[in-house]
Structure 1
Amino acid sequence: MSDPKSTTDVLVVGGGMAGLAGALALRESGAAVTLVERAPEFGEVGAGLQMAPNASRVLKRWGLLEKALEVGVQPKHLVFRDAVTGEELTRQSLKGEFEERYGAPYVVIHRSDLHRILLEACQAAGVELINDVTVSGVETVDGRGIAKTDDGREYHADVILGADGLRSTLRDAVSTDGPISSSYVAYRGTVPITSETLATDLEDVVVYLGPDCHLVQYPLRRGELLNTVAVFKSPSFERGEEQYGGVDELQAAYADCVPAVQEALKNLATGIRWPMYDRDPIENWIAGRMVLMGDAAHPMLQYLAQGACQALEDAAVLQDAATGTVFTDEGINPDAWDDAIREFNTVRAARTSRIQRTARIWGESWHVSGVAGVLRNLLFKSRKENDFQYNDWLYGTDGVGTPSPAGGRNAAVSA
């Protein structure tokens, strides 16, 4: 794009899950949408992710759920075990009553596959996608957003969606905060499932809980791959080292765990690790005609498996907020964007703040030891099969407070 003052209805900054979802949602509503991404190519790194029903309902709404199911897996159960003893603590069936209650399936999918599905949907819908663009800042002039790039270009839009991730540059317009280290890091890996792979748990999401560590395994790509994630408290990360030269920390973290856990460590790619950060919740995501979404607005720790899910919810709620106000039977009303993004901010900030804070608490409960570990195990084991009281508030609404088809009758119950 050579025009130094390109104009569009909606400009999206960032080509990750949140940016693509936001671009697709507003393009489907009738906006001219341009998305700019700093990387030279679109892509997603990492391994698997879990799409709970609150997110798969959004994919269903956009006609993308079947594509996700074609390349993903619908696990039968979510199983929690003690990593030191191997004892099963609780399990949740993810089919039958669970799927009926929440109106959509629980799907595990490779991050790159979901990213590709969203990218192809944006291309098919007519979103203009531009790489090698680094936005350095935004301002609002005469009721329109202006994004300025490092190489001197400007993009003008009625509204700008800031979806530039955990280390968002655009967040600086509304907050002076920074990422917060959790002291935990993750190693990930995917390996082919072969005839030699232990058949146990190949249809489930299995979580082993240990002192200052946990490990998650589940199948991917129609059951062809086994995804493994090991998360542990890292002394080197606590010292400020994002990467670390050896695997001694990894081995030491799981030294007391059962053989099944130690064997699973062999599946990990140890050349890179993922330091785990979040940020404190903030109430305001808006600066003029710019609004944050996704990790730029509400980065969260991974313990509730809701990062990508909340990005999809963001896009759906923004689409709803703009429908009938910005997008009307008479056409697009750009003056209504202020009301639409304010409604979006109000609805989403309350929900995502709760999820951010609950994810921290959930992670702390996973990693306890001693007496606290005994009490955690007792609490988990006291839960009955298909007790939904801890799921409804998270899975039973679509982010605007609308119940899922089964009613979500315990939606107010805290996690």
Structure 2
Amino acid sequence: MTNVSDIIIVGGGIGGLAAALSIQETGKSIAVFEQAPEFGEIGAGIQLAPNALEVLDRLGVKEEIVKYAVFPKRLVLKDVYTAKELAILDLGEGFQKEYGQPYIVLHRSDLHRVLYEACQKRGNIQFFTNQAIQTAEQNGDTVTIVNQNDETFSGEAVIGADGVKSKLRKLFIDDEPVNSAYVAYRGAIPLEEIAHGTNLDLDDVIMWIGPNLHMVQYPVRRGELYNQVVVFKSYDATLEDWGTPEEMARRFENSHPKVQNALNYINRQFRWKMYDREPIENWTKGNITLLGDSGHAMLQYLAQGGVQALEDAFVLGEELKRHNSYEEAFKAYQEVRLPRASMVQRSARKWGETIHAVDPLTVLLRDRLFEQHKPTDYHNVDFLYGYFNKNYQRVDS
């Protein structure tokens, strides 16, 4: 058994790295274990709302991250068949004044790289790759993790940030990821490849919505790339090969010409079957706790999965500063974060049901409600974007 650090973080994604940055301020030594051969992030774009920017600002990385970001002017919901604008959220000066931070979009790999490089500059964070951690166990004041080769590593505390398929979650509940029957095809391509002969709106985040489907579009990496995410419900998610490109074509049949054109640029080789988890009542025991998707995996419809992991990371660091023991700190962290994350999990599911509504009457009523919404009315998003500043007001030194 190798004693590696005070705190072990299992998972080197956005949440794990942000947690390392937040916790290192306590002076504790940290070891981040990643199952991949190297630290990196796959996927495409990510939307970061003000509650995420506030965390990144307090972690000291916001200035570097925004160098790679795009600042959209609006969030726009459009009908996938008619291109009618159904609802708009203005992200301009009034929005930023309301929440103290902007709304940005960027490539996930840029966010991950900035977090990783910031961690590397800290002298008390070390990294281990090719480490598929299978379990953890506490004995007295020591917590031991076991990898795929039955090698053991120990520390004083363990944080499980190992994603939606978390192994460490099984220490608290023997459940499985929930199949939503939806699948996502996503990717970012050079802007010039898609912009040729196409009237793109590069100022907004566009979400095209329709029965059992949606598509999201926005530029990333300072406007050099164009990110697209196509999401639809499979006709039969019980099949081994579900969510196929053929199903995509069938779902989006008769959609607006702009949507049809966008589908031509979707990489059909890679798909992400969409899973979340049921909210749980406990994710902390002794000197072991969970963070991010391992504790509260959620569907992407509110663009809050990564954001909630960032909130976790900040709060965990704060509680470790306030309490003398890991057990006390982890309990306090859970008391704050579990209700919040569970609420966002449920809200994401509900919003998915709303934008994917099939019943014509439901769609009609939904669209009428959307029409009544003013672009500068932030009441409906305040529970997401306003939570952080209301509960963790900054005290500048």
- TM-score, scaled to structure 1: 0.91
Q: How far apart are residue 138 of structure 1 and its match?
A: 0.7
Where does structure 2 lack aligned partners over 5 or more consecutive residues? none
Instruction: Specify whether residues 367 and 20 from structure 1 end up closer, same or farther in structure 2 by C-alpha distance, changes over 3 A only.
Output: same
Aligned to 1:283: 281
| Alignment match of 1:80 (pick from 56, 74, 77) | 77
| Alignment match of 2:392 (pick from 386, 394, 402) | 402
Instruction: Specify whether residues 173 and 399 from structure 1 end up closer, same or farther in structure 2 by C-alpha distance, changes over 3 A only.
Output: farther
| Alignment match of 1:319 (pick from 312, 317, 320) | 317
Within a 5 Å distance, the mapping from 1:266-415 to structure 2 comes to 266-326=264-324, 336-369=325-358, 370-398=360-388, 401-402=391-392
Within a 5 Å distance, the mapping from 1:15-414 to structure 2 comes to 15-126=12-123, 127-194=125-192, 196=196, 198-241=198-241, 244=244, 247-326=245-324, 336-369=325-358, 370-398=360-388, 401-402=391-392
Q: Percent identity?
A: 41
Equivalent residue letter for 2:376: N
Instruction: Specify whether residues 66 and 398 from structure 1 end up closer, same or farther in structure 2 by C-alpha distance, changes over 3 A only.
Output: same
Equivalent pair of 2:322/2:329 in contact (CA under 8 Å): no
Q: Give the distance between the partners of 1:201 and 1:354, measured in 2 at CA.
A: 33
Q: How far apart are residue 274 of structure 1 and its match?
A: 0.6
Q: How far apart are residue 281 of structure 1 and its match?
A: 0.3
Where does structure 1 lack aligned partners over 5 or more consecutive residues? 327-335, 406-415
Q: How far apart are residue 72 of structure 1 and its match?
A: 1.2
Q: How far apart are residue 102 of structure 1 and its match?
A: 0.8
SS in 1 for 2:134: strand
Q: How far apart are residue 199 of structure 1 and its match?
A: 4.2
Q: Give the distance between the partners of 1:264 and 1:346, measured in 2 at CA.
A: 44
Q: How far apart are residue 243 of structure 1 and its match?
A: 6.3
Q: Give the distance between the partners of 2:92 and 2:65, measured in 1 at CA.
A: 17
Equivalent pair of 1:145/1:288 in contact (CA under 8 Å): no
Equivalent pair of 2:145/2:154 in contact (CA under 8 Å): yes
SS in 2 for 1:398: helix
Instruction: Specify whether residues 256 and 248 from structure 1 end up closer, same or farther in structure 2 by C-alpha distance, changes over 3 A only.
Output: same
Q: Give the distance between the partners of 2:286 and 2:375, measured in 1 at CA.
A: 48
Equivalent pair of 2:182/2:243 in contact (CA under 8 Å): no
Q: How far apart are residue 325 of structure 1 and its match?
A: 2.0
Instruction: Specify whether residues 197 and 36 from structure 1 end up closer, same or farther in structure 2 by C-alpha distance, changes over 3 A only.
Output: farther
Equivalent pair of 1:179/1:278 in contact (CA under 8 Å): yes
Q: How far apart are residue 90 of structure 1 and its match?
A: 1.3
SS in 2 for 1:312: helix
Q: How far apart are residue 197 of structure 1 and its match?
A: 5.5
Q: Give the distance between the partners of 2:61 and 2:314, measured in 1 at CA.
A: 13
Equivalent pair of 1:101/1:404 in contact (CA under 8 Å): no
Instruction: Specify whether residues 399 and 361 from structure 1 end up closer, same or farther in structure 2 by C-alpha distance, changes over 3 A only.
Output: farther
Alignment of 1:10 onto 2:16? no
Q: Give the distance between the partners of 1:384 and 1:128, measured in 2 at CA.
A: 48
Q: Give the distance between the partners of 1:155 and 1:202, measured in 2 at CA.
A: 48
Q: Give the distance between the partners of 1:310 and 1:287, measured in 2 at CA.
A: 21
- TM-score, scaled to structure 2: 0.95
Equivalent pair of 1:102/1:404 in contact (CA under 8 Å): no
